[in-house]
Amino acid sequence: MKGRTLLMIPGPIEFEPEVLQALGAPTTSHVAPAFVDAFGRALERMRDVWQCPSGQPFVVAGSGTLAMELAGANLVEPGDRALVVSTGVFGDRFEDLLGRHGAAVTVLRAPVGEIVAASAMEEELVRGGYKLVTVTHVDTSTGVRMDVTKLGELGRKYGTLTVVDGVCSVAGEEIRQEEWKLDIVLTASQKAIGVPPGLALLMASPRALEAFHARRRPVGSYYADWSKWLPVMKAYENRTPSYFGTPAVNLVAALDVSLGQILAEGMPARFARHALLAKAFQAGMDAVRLTQVPAKPPYRAHTLTACYAPEGIGIPAFLEDVKNAGAIVAGGLHPAIKDRTFRVGHMGAVRGADVLATVGAIEAGLRRAGHRFDAGAGVAAAQRVLLS
């Protein structure tokens, strides 16, 4: 009998057995030849996953918030102007982070469930003087996905660096960093990258590195300073050990394995799989008469879904019922809707059978809570998409 339930939250996610095997291998020295080779290969593979052959990858022990810090601390100096485009909690977090580094921050904040239109961004950027603009590709608190395909062009047009928070999108949502002229794309290991929590991952364009080297002041953060990490990244990619802070040896080894699996699947196929899984899951939620947080279907992410619970349903009890039916899903996160929403991750190692099982578990939780719908409608709707 299966001894565990499906972990279907927006991260950490379910991981492939080979990734966990690498994580659980005996820890080696950070200067051992096998580790040096794995680290160097992982850095090379990141360029392929990010689709940024001229980029500089960074792999640093820490969370996705550290990846945000690696961008903000190195690109912002006191007095610089920064534009933050926010569709939820994690966009708002950039406002605080950049302000800590002395930036004068302007925020374009969307109502819950909405996006910020490209025209609104351009209207602000045309005023000039912005050092950088940050956009959260997929905000984990709302499930809203922003279109970043034209962001790089806007940045080049107005002389502004572009920073994409891809914590809940890289390796799940389509990103072509170099083609789209994005300066920074950052993420964390525990989402669609498919590695347990603990690695901050970032890709910097040559333009971003030029801006860094042109700084007038030292970086305010010691640990996040690129000048400390650049020699380390370059050394390992050249298959030479180096040291600033001890790397997370087992996590880096697992990263190498997972990136290899991602590339073996192929980026177009991976993006298409995530889009299909999202369409199936979201069709299931529509079929059981749940309202999703994104205001329009085009705003819905491919890596997670955020739904409003029916009125009168208590979220804690509902989550427990869903868990008892076989799937762990997450409660709300955005302060304005936290007590009436739940969120489901469908990224990384997730397959169609996992989506069907999760929709079925949610149906069981809804039925127990007294919500009226046609039994099996969600599973049937999801299956129709998967078989289409």
Q: What kind and span of H or E run contains 142? A: none
pLDDT score, position 3: 67
Query: 303 CB contacts (<8 Å, ≥6 apart)?
Result: 10, 138, 168, 169, 172, 173, 191, 192, 274, 278, 345, 346, 347
Whether 34 and 367 have beta carbons less than 8 Å apart is answered as no
Instruction: Tell me which residue has tokens 């980029």.
Output: 55
Q: What is the pLDDT of residue 333?
A: 98
CA distance 146 to 185: 14
SS3 171: coil
Which pLDDT value is given to residue 2? 56
Q: List domains and CATH numbers for the chain.
A: 6-11+266-387 (3.90.1150.10), 17-265 (3.40.640.10)
pTM of the model: 0.97
Confidence (pLDDT) at 4: 77
Predicted pLDDT at 274: 98
Task: Output the furthest CA–CA distance in the chain (Å, rounded).
Answer: 64
Q: What is the block-wise mean pLDDT of the chain (388 residues), using blocks of 10 residues?
A: 82 97 97 98 98 98 98 98 98 97 98 98 95 98 98 98 98 98 98 98 98 97 98 98 97 98 98 98 98 98 98 96 98 98 98 98 97 97 97
How does strand 304-308 pair with strand 130-136?
unpaired
Per-residue pLDDT at 66: 98
H or E, element range at 362: helix 352-369
Question: How high is the pLDDT of residue 128?
Answer: 83
